[in-house]
Amino acid sequence: MLYFFNIINIIMAYKPKVIRDKCIGAAPCVAIAPEVFDLDEENIAVIKKYKDVDDQTILMAAKSCPTQAIVVEDEKGKQIFP
């Protein structure tokens, strides 16, 4: 049971943040992780309320951004990307 709990913590460890003034609305993040990202009325990426999304999906979505407008931090606040 402890092993299962640790996997859940790993799955939800990364936290994405959008730098609004860098986002151009290209939306590859939405295509890769629609459960995490959406576009608002200004065509800027926003973070949705999400759960059960693995870290690699969040990281892949951030890396897909052509302007590096998505910052990814770990559970301790350490910047993982870019």
Give the model confidence (pLDDT) of 2-22 as tens digits: 444 444 444 568 999 999 999
Reading the block at residue 79, the tokens are 């910047």
**How high is the pLDDT of residue 52?**
87
Contact 67, 24 (CB under 8 A): yes
Q: Average pLDDT, stretch 54-78?
A: 97
Q: Average pLDDT, stretch 64-79?
A: 97
**How high is the pLDDT of residue 8?**
47
Residue 17 parent element (H or E): strand 15-18
- Indicate the residue type of 55: D
Model's pTM, two decimal places?
A: 0.83
Q: Which residue has the tokens 């943040």?
A: 17
Identify the CATH number of the domain defined by range 2-81: 3.30.70.20
Residue 22 to residue 48: CA distance in whole angstroms: 18
**Residue 2: alpha-carbon gap to chain centroid:** 26
